[in-house]
Amino acid sequence: GLPAPWTVRYSKSKKREYFFNPETKASQWEEPEGTDHGLLKQYLAEHPLRVRCLHILCKHSGSRRPASHRSEHITISKAEAIDELQELQKRLESGESFESLAKERSDCSSYKRGGDLGFFGKGEMQSSFEKAAFALKVGETSGIVETESGVHLIKRVQ
């Protein structure tokens, strides 16, 4: 519904969508000239501007900041961190809650909130995390996702 290359994004401060042109870097509140309003509404129904996710982060020696409330010097290898997430995937499948496992194991400060990162729009999280999170349906949990922070499991809740 939008004339290319315009895209639509979510403004956290104004709590509403705005329109962004990645070529000119222009941003505006009103729909760009030539927008098909009906198609835009349909597009927005299928492409959430923001999502709310829980995550479990296992940091490792290659993490951009290899420290957390659990350890001031994280030395496990990336392979070991992946093994730990695979164990957590099994525990999720056997019915343990995502929140309880995040509180137990996540190296992100969001562990205190069961891994809850709140709502975020495009452009806020590292791109591999954003890509995986926006591909999830509400209630769905990702596979193992890698970022500069470490390795993650992501559950979309809204």
Ligand X SMILES: N=C(N)NCCC[C@H](NC(=O)[C@@H]1CCC/C1=C/[C@H](COP(=O)(O)O)NC=O)C(N)=O
* Binding map of ligand X across residues 33-62, x = CB under 6 A, - = no contact: ------------------------x-----
For ligand X, give the closer residue by CB, 42 or 77: 77
For ligand X, give the closer residue by CB, 91 or 113: 113
CB of 109 to ligand X, least distance (A): 7
**SS3 letters across the chain:** CCCCCCEEEEECCCCEEEEEECCCCEEECCCCCCCCHHHHHHHHHHCCCEEEEEEEEECCCCCCCCCCCCCCCCCCCHHHHHHHHHHHHHHHHCCCCHHHHHHHHCCCHHHHHCCEEEEEECCCCCHHHHHHHHHCCCCCECCCEEECCEEEEEEECC
* Binding map of ligand X across residues 87-126, x = CB under 6 A, - = no contact: ---------------------x--------xx-x---xxx
For ligand X, give the closer residue by CB, 31 or 146: 146
For ligand X, give the closer residue by CB, 16 or 70: 70
CB of 113 to ligand X, least distance (A): 12
Strands in 26-28's sheet, in edge-to-edge order, are: 7-11, 16-21, 26-28
- C-beta separation of 55 from 108 below 8 A: yes
CB of 53 to ligand X, least distance (A): 9
Give catalytic residue positions.
Answer: 55, 108, 126, 149, 152
Residues near ligand X, by CB under 6 A: 57, 64-65, 108, 117-118, 120, 124-126, 129, 147, 149
